[in-house]
Chains A and B, each alone.
Chain A
Amino acid sequence: MSAPPAEATPLDGLRVLDLSDPFGQYAGKLLANLGADVIKIEPPEGDAGRRIGPFLDDLPGPERSLFWWYYNADKRSLALDIAGDDGLDLFLQLAAEADIVLETAQPTADRPFDPLLLADACPRLIVLSLTPFGQDGPWADWAWSDAVALALGGPMGSCGYDNLEGAPPIRPTEHHAGHIAAYYAVFGAIAALYEREVSGLGQHIDASVHEACAFTIESSAPWALYERHPLLRQTGRHAGPQPTEPWQYPTADGRLINIFGMPRSEAAWLRLVQLIQRDGLGAELSDPQLLDGRNRQLGLKQETALRMLDQLAEFIAANAAEEIYHGAQQAGAAWSIIRTPDEAAEDPHWTERGFFIEVEHLEHGRTATYPGAPYILSRTPWRQQRRAPLLGEHTVELLKDELGLDPEQIAALAAAGIVA
């Protein structure tokens, strides 16, 4: 147990072989940004993630996918065909020396290897299988997409509109089934690493996207478990056992304020009322009944709260979003502006915290601004040292340094289409 150097990362010195499909690549990114040496093993023709947009200047190309850039930052690329025996053998040699193998192949007959057998063969290795439905069960080999996972898993059923006749449930965009599952998988894998420090033993981890989504649905879970009671989906607010009042209100400058997070203390309530009444609006908010927080409580459709909401809506409609947001927050109400991601990126708070990072893309002659750390670790900072790898960028160095192959052997493998 030697102490890592100062400014270490939590996963310093650990190697991850990342065989994941696009949906699993966030898991590999999280491990890479925590300091692991993550080698993305992709087929010689390039990973499917390279074909997912949006693209740099809207021109598709294996090195132009912004999806690939984001989800594979800080990884190295080994272009290796493991569908055939020779490539698989090279992979297995690397696996024997690795700490984590991340793989997402569904448990069908044609997957390149059995992850349980790999875990058995390599006692220190943690084999992280992140698959749509897990390693067994009637749906284990089902076809899927992120949207299908959100439908089957529950998140989608809670989201939608109650004020649009016949509107379906809506799945929020941007691959959230993969996001949810990635955190579970990474938590499990790091916990297994932690345990391995003492036992010296690896293990197999069976992570299921379907199960990760199931019950990442907040109160729908206890209402189902205890009462068998499905919840009603409602526009822009929590699904509930009964209909509730709207939370989203339009501003004078054509944006929306979400008023969820009303003040709970009397002092904060009075500050909010003062803000609203500054311009002569909201006279009815001085109703002494509203001093009692119970009469302001939303969700019950009580008359006092409905009158309060009318007054709030009038105030919001008369003012600009940024002013309402800062005024309400400073009064002690956790109101928000509904921002698109580009609008969110323009809030100076995140710049001040150093959230956005600049990443160099020398081959395109530019840098790009990325969302940065999901956590600030004071001693072992989250880091992103380099952009996502070019296809096969590290193939030669890995074959040479890690597998001891000479230039002739590497050329032969390339000629046979096994590496690129």
Chain B
Amino acid sequence: MPHSPPPTSPPPLAGVRVIDFTWIVAGPTCTRLLADFGAEVIRVENQQTLDSIRFGRPHPNGFDPPDSSGMFNWLNRNKRSITLNARHPDGLDLLKRLITVSDVLVENYSSRVLESWGLGYEQQRAIREDLIYVSLCGFGHSGPQRDYGTWGPTAQALSGLTAMSGFAGEEPAGWGYSYLDHMAGFTAAAAIAAALHHRRRSGEGQHIDLSQVESGMVLTGPATLDFTVNGRRYAETGNPPGNRSVWPRAAPHNTYPTVGGDNWIMITCTTDAHWAELCSLSNHPDWRDDPRFATLPARLRHEDELDDLLAVWTSAQDGRALMLRLQEAGIPAGIVQNGVDLVERDPQLKHREWTARRNHEVIGEHETDGLPVRLSRTPAHRDQPGPRLGEANEYVYGELLGLDPEQITELMISGALG
């Protein structure tokens, strides 16, 4: 290794404390990144309104919430958990004290929840001036639809992303998962890193107002400009095009069936050279010599015939073997992998040690996934499983806030600890 890190360099966000009022997927995705990068993330939970992901499937070792969900464990590794009821006066007081010793507060509630506790940004700022407050909701903290709600699919539909997936003339295929829960979470994490950097240089905190729908609309730049500049509406021109190319134009560019049922390979000949290589490795000089396929414009005009021919050729072949042959010839091709393929049959991820075994008190031995961004000197970590509900009460209320065990017990009995 040319770059040899000192073995003890802590992750880059070590020393940052985050109060985590997030739930479901978007917020926890954000705080997972922060935690993997070394921040101390304290999930604040209320037993009366628990994160429904604590009940989410799968439950690898049997259904025994609140600590048995694999989904929860996956989204919340490396975090701590305390219980607290912010609507109880003593709970709110504890929360304010926690703010005094924290750097970031993240929440993904509806847009007026923290205000209703008397904890809008101005009040937070009065408690700790340099706090970074992140609100992540559907429509942001301003505008006429501020009080509307979103889930991932809602935001995907409203941003345009759902309509950009599928076959023209059919209903959209959309997204088979809450893509914008991931992306809003990543967007928030990037903004927090930037705000932390600013704070380290200036001492200033700030409010980051994030709208989940906007986090999707920024991903439609060229299509939106095609409308605002050229006046072209997305659906006018045969969009969405299934798996064919939009920009840059390319053909063949599609999924083709391979043996074994629902198995598919994506082949994208992005240059004429790729196409020539494909004709040669498939023993089809007739394709190469066919004027319908001689140039990219010609192939685009005859894409139906081209795709039909290729599908006949691929459908008798093993997808993985075909992918290797195509890649050996330098043609961009890849099989469609599902989650199980990724953990069991992906040699690249295996080589890069994508999964690692960890233990969890309730779930038991399990695998955790990797981090796609590897810092040579201050690497992220994936050491701790998701927290059991309230497991850090003693640490946070005792060690951080200096309460003695009797006080903690009293607060527990009074209901302040949710």
Contacts and interface: CB of A to CB of B under 8 A. Distances in A.
**Residue among A143, A186, A248 with max Cβ neighbours from chain B (10 Å):** A143
Nearest to B149: A334
Contact of B223 (A8, A168, A171, A174): A174
A373 B170 CA distance: 32
A174 to B, nearest CB: 6
A1 B373 CA distance: 28
A91 interface: no
A120 to B, nearest CB: 5
A217 B177 contact: yes
B197 A197 contact: yes
Given A116-B2, A203-B378, A375 B228 contact: no
Interface residues on B, range: 35 or more
A84 interface: no
A190 B249 CA distance: 34
B232 to A, nearest CB: 7
A222 to B, nearest CB: 4
Contacts of A139: 327, 347-348
A195 to B, nearest CB: 4
B293 interface: no
6 contacts: A151-B266, A174-B246, A218-B179, A334-B151, A338-B174, A377-B195
Contact of B173 (A140, A193, A236): A236
Contact of B197 (A11, A53, A225, A334): A11
Interface stretch (B40-48, B154-162, B392-400): B154-162
B343 to A, nearest CB: 5
B226 to A, nearest CB: 4
A261 B154 contact: yes
Contacts of B154: 258, 260-261, 334-336
Interface string B339-357: 1111110111101101100
Contacts of A155: 177, 179
A221 B339 contact: yes
Contact of A344 (B206, B217, B241): B217
Interface stretch (A37-45, A175-183, A307-315, A389-397): A175-183
Contacts of A374: 187, 191, 210, 214-215, 218
Contact of A3 (B161, B201, B332): B201
Interface in B208-265: 208-211, 213-215, 217-230, 232-235, 239-243, 245-250, 253, 255, 257, 264-265
Interface string A68-109: 011100000000000000000000000000000000000000
Nearest to B177: A218
A374 B155 CA distance: 14
B58 A144 contact: no
A376 B145 contact: no
B349 A211 contact: yes
A368 B225 CA distance: 8
Interface in A244-259: 247-248, 256, 258
A145 interface: yes
A219 to B, nearest CB: 6
Interface string A146-169: 011111111111111100100111
**Residue among B5, B150, B165, B189 with max Cβ neighbours from chain A (10 Å):** B165
B66 interface: no
A58 B339 contact: no
A200 to B, nearest CB: 12
Contacts of A377: 191, 194-195, 206-208
Interface stretch (A284-292, A346-354, A400-408, A409-417): A346-354
A136 B255 contact: no
Contacts of B348: 133-134, 137-140, 210
Given A221-B369, A225-B366, A230 B176 contact: no
B2 A117 contact: yes
**Residue among A171, A185, A194, A228 with max Cβ neighbours from chain B (10 Å):** A194
B220 A207 contact: no
Nearest to A53: B247
A227 interface: yes
Nearest to A150: B266
A116 B203 CA distance: 33
B243 A224 contact: no
Given A168-B255, A378-B208, 12 more contacts: A169-B255, A173-B165, A179-B183, A204-B375, A239-B176, A336-B157, A339-B159, A341-B227, A342-B160, A374-B215, A376-B209, A380-B204
Contact of A190 (B70, B194, B204, B337): B194
A113 interface: no
A183 B243 contact: no
Interface string A327-346: 00100111111111111110
Contacts of B354: 211, 214
B63 to A, nearest CB: 13
B270 interface: yes
B74 interface: yes
A375 B339 contact: no
Given A138-B348, A216-B182, A161 B173 contact: yes
A230 B340 contact: yes
Interface string B361-379: 0010011111111111110
A120 B1 CA distance: 11
Shortest beta-carbon contacts, A-B, top 8: A224-B339, A158-B176, A341-B160, A211-B372, A70-B221, A379-B206, A172-B165, A183-B186
Interface in A358-374: 368-374
A286 B369 CA distance: 46
A116 B3 contact: yes
A137 B235 CA distance: 40
Contacts of A210: 348-349, 372
Contacts of B333: 143, 148
Nearest to B234: A340
Nearest to B233: A342
Contacts of A378: 121, 206-209
Contacts of B153: 237-238, 247, 258, 260-261, 336
B390 to A, nearest CB: 22
Interface in B4-35: 5, 12-13, 25, 33
A20 interface: no
**Residue among A116, A208, A231 with max Cβ neighbours from chain B (10 Å):** A208
